[in-house]
């Protein structure tokens, strides 16, 4: 009887009307969950996935609520998508796709790992991701993708970046690994990355006694020296 219902495709539609005792009988007949196969997880431990699934060994494979199990998986930090499928007579297969970490963000709640879209993945175990770009400021995760990619195309700049600071949710400062702050304009910042690369490579600007480099003016560079003195240089006349 059970086999006929299964083959005919009727069992799934009628299972909610079947007495609980019959579900136990089905499990005893060889349709109890005995294996769960998990794939696609790299950062999510299998034990965490098993706990989220909430499926018990020997539970009737027909009675298992796989939709609810999938929703619980999607509630885990790293899970972007998940498929939970019955493999008769007694197995469940789980395939997950995990989120891809893009950067670390100094959030109001602490350091968070974020996706390229800006969505927070987790605030746990962030030290594992110390090599990711560091973002500071409200709105930084949502706005950072283009900036980070552009900086990566400038080898001299990229090798010196310590953090990206989003200022007033409209423009960026680059914090270099020697403490120098580079102020970029709200518009035309790509061209200013070219200018900064030139200042670093051709003019050895970072070997000088500067603490700030202001690239917001279209006609001049402004520098702040360690003693607080400010200096401006006409573009094209830097030495």
Instruction: With a cut of 70, say whether residue 3 has pLDDT above it.
Output: no
Identify the band that residue 19 occupies on the pLDDT scale cut at 50, 70 and 90. Answer: very low
Contact 230, 217 (CB under 8 A): no
Within 8 A by CB and 6+ apart from 215, the residues are: 182, 183, 184, 185, 192, 195, 196, 221
pLDDT value of position 78: 98
pLDDT in tens, 77-115: 999 999 999 999 999 999 999 999 999 999 888 999 999
Would the pLDDT of 47 be above 80? yes
Confidence of residue 23 (pLDDT cuts 50, 70, 90): very low
Structure tokens at 71: 């929703």
3-state SS, residue 42? coil
Mean pLDDT confidence for 2-29: 36
Instruction: Give the 3-state secondary structure percentages of the chain, helix then strand then coil, rounded to 5.
Output: 35, 30, 35
Give the percent of the chain with pLDDT over 70.
86
What percentage of the chain has pLDDT greater than the value 90?
77
Half-sphere exposure of 88 (CA within 13 A, CB side): 12
Instruction: Give the number of other CB atoms < 10 A from CB of residue 203.
Output: 14
- pLDDT tops 80 at residue 166: yes
Domains belonging to the chain, first-starting first, are: 2-98 (3.10.20.310), 103-234 (3.40.50.11690)
- Using the predicted structure, report yes or no on whether residue 8 has a pLDDT greater than 80: no
Quote the pLDDT of residue 181.
98
Q: How confident is the model at residue 238 (pLDDT cuts 50, 70, 90)?
A: low
- pLDDT, position 75: 97
Averaged pLDDT for residues 1-23: 32
Q: Which residue has the higher pLDDT, 14 or 51?
A: 51
Q: Which residue has the tokens 């469940």?
A: 92
Prior bond to 89 cis, omega within 30? Answer: yes
Per-residue pLDDT at 235: 82
Three-class DSSP category at 114: strand
Mean pLDDT of 115-144: 97
Query: Over the chain, what is the mean pLDDT?
Result: 87
**Token pair listed for 201:** 């490579």
Residue 54 pLDDT more than 90?
Answer: yes
Q: Distance between CA atoms of 61 and 57, rounded to whole angstroms? A: 10
Q: Is the pLDDT of residue 46 over 80?
A: yes
């Amino acid at each position: 009887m059970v086999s006929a219902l299964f083959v005919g495709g009727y069992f799934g539609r009628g299972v909610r009307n079947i007495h609980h005792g019959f579900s136990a009988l089905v499990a005893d007949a060889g349709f109890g969950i005995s294996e769960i196969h998990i794939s696609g997880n790299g950062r999510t431990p299998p034990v965490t996935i098993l706990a989220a699934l909430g499926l018990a060994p020997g539970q009737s494979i027909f009675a298992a609520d796989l939709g609810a199990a999938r929703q619980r998986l999607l509630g885990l930090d790293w899970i972007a998508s998940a498929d939970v499928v019955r493999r008769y007579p007694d197995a469940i297969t789980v395939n997950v796709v995990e989120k891809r970490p893009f950067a670390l963000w100094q959030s109001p709640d602490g350091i968070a790992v974020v996706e390229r879209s800006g969505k927070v993945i987790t605030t746990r175990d962030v030290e594992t991701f110390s090599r990711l770009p560091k973002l500071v400021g409200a709105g930084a995760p949502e706005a950072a993708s283009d900036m980070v990619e552009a900086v990566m195309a400038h080898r001299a700049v990229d090798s010196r970046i310590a953090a990206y600071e989003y200022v007033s949710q409209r423009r960026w400062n680059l914090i270099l690994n020697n403490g120098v702050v580079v102020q970029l304009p709200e518009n035309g910042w790509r061209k200013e990355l070219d200018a900064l690369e030139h200042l670093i490579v051709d003019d050895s600007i970072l070997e000088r006694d500067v603490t700030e480099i202001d690239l917001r003016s279209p006609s001049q560079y402004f520098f702040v020296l360690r003693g607080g003195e400010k200096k401006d240089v006409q573009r094209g006349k830097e030495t």
